[in-house]
Amino acid sequence: MNFDLSEEQKLIQETARQFASERLAPVAARLDREGDRETFLANLKELAGLGFMGLNVYQAYGGSETGSVAFSLAITEIARACASTAVTVSVNNMVCELIQSVGSEEQKLRYLPRICSGSYPAASFALTEPGAGSDAAALSTRAEADGDGWRLTGTKVFITSAPYAGVFVVWAVTDPAAGKGNGISCFLVEAGTPGLVIGREEVKTGQRASATNEVLLDGCRVPREALLGRLNDGYRIAMSELAGGRIGIGSLALGVGLAAMDFATAYAAQREQFDRKLVEFEALQWMIADSYTELEAARLLLMNAAFRKETGKGFAKEASMAKLFASDAANRACYKAVQMLGGYGYTASYPVERYARDARITSIYEGTNEIQRLIIAREVLRSFI
């Protein structure tokens, strides 16, 4: 198997790495502490100009059309500098791919160029509810037919980019009698639509520069053409797109884990105790060896899942494996990085404590790692039962 990147993939990776180093890394700590949204959004606009907001979108709709492998590479490089920016870029790409996959031609032409170009600072994926997290089929948000349109009522939570999203993909029950998971549809709801209310912003442990909000749908009326995909096919659409999103989150986790270990290893190579460099001690060498080995394994799992997706092969199991392993490996790497710095690792004077906070959520969102294990087991058992 050839693991070499194409020239285009190398260019995407290097462009992301350079932008992350020059523009994101210098401000990441400040954005984490102070939440400078103007700078955050300016960086997103520049990333859109570089083509990173629609990496797997056809050029006809304003995308870069570079594929899933390039997407994974880009998210990893961006996350090495700023996880908050990386998750926003990942969600944007997920929304774009969803619209491209199931949207009408009119919807594609209306929304994809706006998201890819940065005309919309971001786009949001509004699925999760207070009573429907891992159990996405348990939605309570309702969409009722209203003349030539639909009226949406309900509450969404943990919605990334809500305050500055230009469009939301919203899931709602359209046929309550169809049974759990069978009567759900999704809709495109533009920012500023009456009845779409951006609620409180969560105060989070990590990835603080990325806004995460409650979104209220208070009799929010949308036109008939806002229906995305087929009526009552929303649950299948959500599950399909979440599989692709897991490649993004796994790639993000990999980037954070690498950043933590790179910093800690460089620190340990300079720091002395007992008249020896820290890296001369076997205990730290084993931390370094274990972490980089696990992160390399995560990279290969992600490349496999991304390649399968890019070439049209089934990838749900592989995406879950990659997300599960990468996020767990990143969390372990970040905690080892804190340990390698000792007391300094627990202070905000060094970035490893931020990396540890940023990595923690990667084992929760886009499907908890417990859910990933259920998916993997289900797929494996198909050949035994």
Residues with catalytic roles: 366
Q: Is 304 within 8 Å of 318 (Cβ atoms)? A: yes
CA distances for 231 relative to 23, 102, 139, angstroms:
43, 11, 16
Sign of CA dihedral 174, 175, 176, 182: negative
- Tell me, rounded to whole angstroms, the distance of Cα 363 from its chain centroid: 12
Helix axes 316-341, 352-360, angle to 10 degrees: 150
CB atoms within 10 A of CB 11: 13
| Burial (Cβ within 10 Å: 0-12, 13-18, ≥19) of residue 2 | exposed
Q: Are strands 165-173 and 122-126 parallel, antiparallel or unpaired?
A: parallel
Residue type for position 98: L
CA atoms in the 13 A half-sphere facing the CB of 4: 3
Tokens of 286: 């084993």
Helix axes 316-341, 234-270, angle to 10 degrees: 30
